Amino acid sequence: MPRVTIARNILAANEEIAADVRRRLAAAGVRCINLMSGPGAGKTTLLERSVARLRGQLAVGVIEGDIETSLDAERIEAAGAQVVQINTRGACHLEAHMVRDALETLNLQRLDLLFIENIGNLVCPAAWDLGEDLRAVVVSTTEGDEKPAKYPQIFAAAQVLVLNKMDLLPYVDYDPERVCTQALAVNPGLQIFALSCRSGEGLDAWCDWLLAFTSKRSVTTARETPYIMGGAGS
Amino acid sequence: MHELSLAQSIIEAVEARAEECGVERVRAVHLRVGEASGVLVDALQFAFEMLASLSPTLTGARLTIEITPHRAWCEPCARTFTVMDFVARCPTCGTWSTRILSGTELQILDMEVGADGEQGSQE
């Protein structure tokens, strides 16, 4: 039986679109962060607080991914950001074509920083490049402290880890040291922030870092992490 | 994780290549998938069979999957080692200065093709 070579990454179509998104954002001078977490870790609240604190210093846009509803987009918009809602109607992660379409409704010339809030899921979002400059994972003290060991891929694919809901530490059995040790074992280069969106503790350091990240034009990009799926050997 | 989406991408890539080469029937598709890629092989097989049955070019096509181990290279020791649980630390010298060699692949290698009426090869 004759064989015909294909030699193509399964995710190649997504990666081509992600590269296009990355070019368009770079041309407009917009820095982009893909924010990932399990459901309920506090991604939307972190964005609300960040947008409110950075108002007047950074023009922030948010692409809000949810399976259903525009509840999160309404919260972010109220905090003062340009927002586009994507409803995936059941899909468990965002793909690059959804982000490319969402860019059409944003005024990129008026943005400094764009967040993509991924679907609440610690598994699937790790494999899809969305054209971001950097990936951040949020975990919270109410989730249990074994997440990096149980879901290593997403921690390996990120550059930043945020530990949220630190104000609840006295009331929960959660060892932040353990989480950091596990996360650094799969990704020694992770930058870690511990904060509470509720009390505001740690938000200054996070927002200072966002300002520095946005003003930099060349830091480690998402493409340089070792665990972009389909990367090795291709 | 998202095997239906992956199967859809595979079918689209194979159909595009088949059209490019004037291939009428695809009998088999060969993949290389890393053990750390997060892909559930059974779920991918199932999704592929379902979607292939809807494609005139791919109806009845087999999917074969070569699994690659999660391996890394330690620069100081100049040797390779198996990565356990995503921790790419050299088990001999303890360094983190290592480079992933394999285990995250998601590649479509090639396809077996034949005209209508021909039998697909059996393994």
> Could you list the mean pLDDT of each consecutive 10-residue stretch along chain B, which spans 123 residues?
89 96 96 93 96 96 97 96 93 91 95 72 46
- pLDDT computed for residue B2 by the predictor: 83
Instruction: Give the CATH number of domain B3-70+102-113; options: 2.60.40.10, 3.40.47.10, 3.30.2320.50, 3.30.70.250.
Output: 3.30.2320.50
Instruction: Identify which of B27, B96, B105 has the shortest CB distance to residue A232.
Output: B105
Q: Do A186 and B37 touch (CB under 8 A)?
A: no
Mean pLDDT of A124-147: 95
**Residue B56: φ, ψ to 5°:** -55, -35
Which pLDDT does position B118 carry in this prediction? 53
pLDDT tens digits, residue range B54-82? 999 999 999 999 999 999 999 999 999 99
* A 35-64 residues with CB < 8 A to B: none
Q: Is the pLDDT of residue A92 over 90?
A: no
Degrees, nearest 5: CA angle B74-A132-A96? 110
What is the arrangement of strands in the sheet containing B98-102, beginning at the earlier edge strand?
A: B79-82, B71-74, B98-102
Domains and CATH numbers, chain A: 12-223 (3.40.50.300)
Considering CB atoms only, which of B12, B37, B102 is closest to A229?
Answer: B37
B105 and A5 in contact by Cβ < 8 A?
Answer: no
Q: In this predicted structure, what is the pLDDT of residue A224?
A: 45
Chain A, residues 202-231, CB within 8 A of chain B, namely: 226-231
* pLDDT recorded at residue A233: 34
Classify the complex by whether its ipTM is higher than 0.95, answering yes or no. Answer: no
Specify the higher pLDDT residue, B7 or A219. Answer: B7
* Percentage above 90 pLDDT, chain A: 79
Name the A residues in 177-196 with CB < 8 Å from any B CB.
Answer: 185-186, 188
Please report which confidence band the pLDDT of residue A124 belongs to, taking 50, 70 and 90 as the band edges.
Answer: confident
Give the number of other Cβ atoms within 10 Å of residue A129's Cβ: 25
Q: Which residues contact A215 (CB under 8 A, 6 or more apart)?
A: none
Q: Which of B6, B15, B32, B37 is most worth mutating to test chain A (most A CB atoms within 10 A of its CB)?
A: B37
Contact by Cβ (8 Å): B41, B65: yes
Q: What does pTM read for this prediction? A: 0.88
Opening angle at CA A40, ends A56 and A147, nearest 5: 110
- Chain B residue with minimum CA distance to A153: B86
